[in-house]
Structure 1
Amino acid sequence: MTVAIAQRNDPRLGIALMALTSFVFSAQDGLSRHLAEATNVYMVVMIRFWFFAGFVILLGRAQQGSIRAAAATSQPFVQIFRAVLLVAEICVTVYGFTLLGLAQSHALFAACPLIIAALSGPVLGEKVGWRRWAAIGVGFLGIVVILRPGVAVFDLAAVVPLIGAAMFALYSLLTRLVSRRDSAATSFFWTGVGGAVAMTFVGLPMWEPMSPADWAMMAVLCMTGVLGHWLLIKTYEVAEAAIVQPFAYLQLVFASAIGVTVFHETLHTTTVIGGGIVVAAGLFTLWRERVRRLKESA
């Protein structure tokens, strides 16, 4: 107990944990891409969520005392929709990995904070100032650079990661919305269990046999999923979200490195430049969000 109190509000530890979390999630993306190409996206996400559901059930019982207490919510329909939206987003994003590779998919997915900022007004009723709108505009110019207009015919596959980013942005906003009445532990429980139930209906009909090597990779994928979420929980326990959140962009760096070294992807200069623009715009929106919250709490 004493250790937990001593570690709270430790920015250095929080940043280190976020960097490690980003690496684990990047490895998870690499495994997901391989397994989705070897079998199919739906089965991979289903098995991953079975394991994840087991984790959140155990965690819920440990933290809340019982499964009923962990699942207690006054907004079950929104929680279920969040869970279904998340598993659908993961399916879309992993499918994007198989089409575009990790590097370009993550460069486009980096637009997620910008989409969150743009949608925070209609979904949460938050005011978005001109500075954040300017950053959103700059970020989407970065996306145009990544898509390389004039260099090649526009590839419709590039829309897939952007759809995934939009879905995850909406999921994140709904998570903020339900947090007004539900604890983080309750939302985490519904995410895992609801997602597993939804994917079972979709994934079971798509079942395919896997080689022993792929089953071993699937086991590693499930463990990285649990480890990544556990590290993320610990990250937010020891440091403020506003401090550590910018370092989540390290996932773009790690995923690109895995894509180039493991999957022999080509990292175009336009992807690096455009991704840098998108990340810079995203970091600015995160900073403005922190400034806004500080003003509201003052």
Structure 2
Amino acid sequence: MTEANTRMGIWLMVATTFVFAIQDGISRHLAGEYNVLMVVMIRYWFFAAFVVAVAARASGGLKAAAQTSQPILQTFRGLLLAAEICVMVLAFTLLGLVESHAIFTSYPLLVAALSGPVLGERVGWRRWAAIGIGFVGVLIILQPGVAVFSPLALIPLTSAAMFALYALLTRYAARADSTATSFFWTGTVGGVAMTVVGLWFWEPMTPRDWLWMGSLCITGALGHWLLIKCYEVAEASAVQPFAYLQLVFASLIGLTIFGEVLEMNVVIGAAIVVGAGLFTLFRARQAPHD
């Protein structure tokens, strides 16, 4: 992998996090006006169409993309991600972008912690120490035992745990299925599931919000396309640290567009969580079993 490819991958990851942060901001607006399940359903319609279009153009077409020896695992992955998105969008409406993303950044630590029981990987004491320090950062954000602690703060933590499990199951599925197959099942299963649930919560939208919904769908597809291109040109371990920029971009949107407040405990806690997460990524790259 050349230095030029790595540099291009980094810029693609920065662009990906920026687009996904915009998507989160639009989701926060729409879910504040309409039912979360309906918003996620319409978003999934476009995502499923995007996934099918990508699969149809690939070698072997839809038949090759849909072929899997582990349909139960792939179905569960698709359902899990759809549910996780609903939980996270709900968190945006209840807590805002800043606090939700500050807590959600703990998911790489959860991935590291769960990689042993889920994938049978060995996690060394250094990474366990980083995981422990990272969750001290989460506690600083949550402030349990403090009078102002809100149980609502557990919602993005639940989302982080769900996404961590999804990420691990994706790695597990990759032992037998291609990335294209997992991507196809993620979009189609999620699209079907959200339609079955979301149609019961349909609400009429204003023309202006339909424009926002269109923007939400476009940013979702663009973000996934950029992410695919990112991993095509560079190694995941080289670009993954830059995924934390989504916290920065989403927080800026929360502060400037939605008038959210940046609390000092959130800043300190998020810094600890991100630092611990970067260390676990570094250790995983340098010494996989240390």
Give the 3 Å change call, closer, same or farther, for CA 76–287 of structure 1 in structure 2: same
Where structure 1 has 5 or more consecutive residues not aligned to the other structure, the ranges are 1-5
Determine whether 1:31 maps to 2:13.
Answer: no
Is 1:111 aligned to residue 106 of structure 2?
yes
Q: Is the 8 A contact 1:142 1:274 kept in 2?
A: yes
61, 65, 83: which one aligns with 2:60? 65
Name the counterpart of 2:185: 190
Whole-angstrom CA distance in 2 between matches of 1:7 and 1:278: 31
- The equivalent position to 1:277 in structure 2, one of 268, 272, 287, is 272
CA distance in 2, matches of 1:146, 1:26: 20
Partners of 1:98 and 1:133 in 2: CA distance: 33
- 3-state DSSP class of the match of 1:221? helix
Of residues 227, 231, 254, the one that matches 2:226 is 231
Q: Hey, what's the Cα distance between the residues in 2 that align with 1:240 and 1:187?
A: 19
Alignment check: 8 A CA contact 1:8 1:239 kept: no
- 1:109-258 alignment runs, 5 A limit: 109-149=104-144, 151-258=146-253
Q: What is the alpha-carbon distance in structure 1 between the residues aligned to residue 4 and residue 88 of structure 2?
A: 33
Amino acid at match of 1:38: E
Secondary structure of the equivalent of 1:31?
helix
Counterpart contact for 1:49–1:199, Cα < 8 Å: yes
Alignment-mate amino acid for residue 13 of structure 2: M
CA contact (8 A) 1:8 1:238 kept: no
Residue 228 to residue 50, structure 1, CA distance change in 2 (3 Å): same
Q: What residue in structure 2 maps to residue 81 of structure 1?
A: 76
Tell me the equivalent position of 2:259. 264
In structure 1, the residue matched to 2:6 is 11
RMSD (Å) for aligned C-alpha atoms = 1.5
Tell me, in whole angstroms, the C-alpha distance in 1 between the residues paired with 2:192 and 2:58: 22
Counterpart of 1:58, as a letter, is A
Name the residue aligned to 1:3. none
Report the Cα distance in structure 1 between the residues aligned to 2:33 and 2:3, rounded to whole angstroms.
43
User: How far, CA to CA, are the matches of 1:28 and 1:256 in structure 2?
Assistant: 13
Q: Give the unaligned 5+ runs of structure 2.
A: none
TM-score, scaled relative to structure 1: 0.94
**Paired residue total:** 290
Is residue 2:85 matched to residue 1:90? yes
